[in-house]
Every structure is written in structure tokens, then in C-alpha cells.
């Protein structure tokens, strides 16, 4: 199982804060997961077209080629605006 979490504007656009993805034998990258989420429906596809979205795995910022394994927490969110 891979836990996927969404934040801020992205969470609101998807109307989803988190979901679980069953893992199979195929190795997946962050980009693969993004593609799987995009395939959900047109709304999700449009939302994930946004190229400025950032991703993190287990609380560290990563790029799309990062490999994800079962038990990981993957996060997608817009560029940060704290401070």
C-alpha cells in the first residue's frame, strides 16, 4: 500500500485529502503515480496537468523519477507560500 496525500489548492481542486494505492509487482516512480491519478477522470487529469506541482516522498522533496515502494507516503502539493 502507498499512502498519497494532497495539500492546499490541489486538495481543494481534487476534493480529496488522501487516498491509498494498492501496490503490485511493478516498480513505480512518482511520475507513474501521477499518471495513475490522472487516469482517474477528466477532472483529475486536468488538475495533474499543472507542471508546477511539487512532490515529496516520506517528507522529503523529490523529483518525478524517484522510486516509490510499498509503505511510502507520497505527497503532491502546489509551490509553497509560507513565511
Partner 1 sequence: MSDQSNLNEIAIQKEDFSLADEVFLLEKDNLTDGAVVTFTGRVRNNNNGNSVTTLTLEHYPGMTEKSLAKIIIQAKERWNIGRVKVIHRIGELSIGEQIVFVGVTSKHRQDAFAANEFIMDYLKVKAPFWKKEKITDAGQASENWLAAKNSDTDKAELWS
Measure the CA–CA gap between 12 and 58, rounded to whole angstroms: 22
Can you give the binding site for partner 1, defined by CB under 8 A?
Answer: 5, 7-9, 12, 52, 56, 59-61, 75, 77-83
Torsion sign over Cα 49, 25, 73, 20: positive
Amino acid at each position: 500500500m502507498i499512502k498519497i496525500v494532497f495539500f492546499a489548492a490541489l486538495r481543494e481542486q481534487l476534493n480529496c485529502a488522501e487516498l491509498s494505492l494498492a501496490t503490485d509487482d511493478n516498480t513505480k516512480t512518482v511520475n507513474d503515480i501521477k499518471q495513475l491519478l490522472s487516469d482517474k477522470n477528466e477532472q483529475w487529469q486536468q488538475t495533474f496537468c499543472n507542471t508546477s506541482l511539487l512532490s515529496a516522498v516520506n517528507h522529503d522533496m523529490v523529483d518525478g523519477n524517484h522510486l516509490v515502494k510499498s509503505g511510502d507516503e507520497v505527497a503532491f502539493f502546489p509551490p509553497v507560500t509560507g513565511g
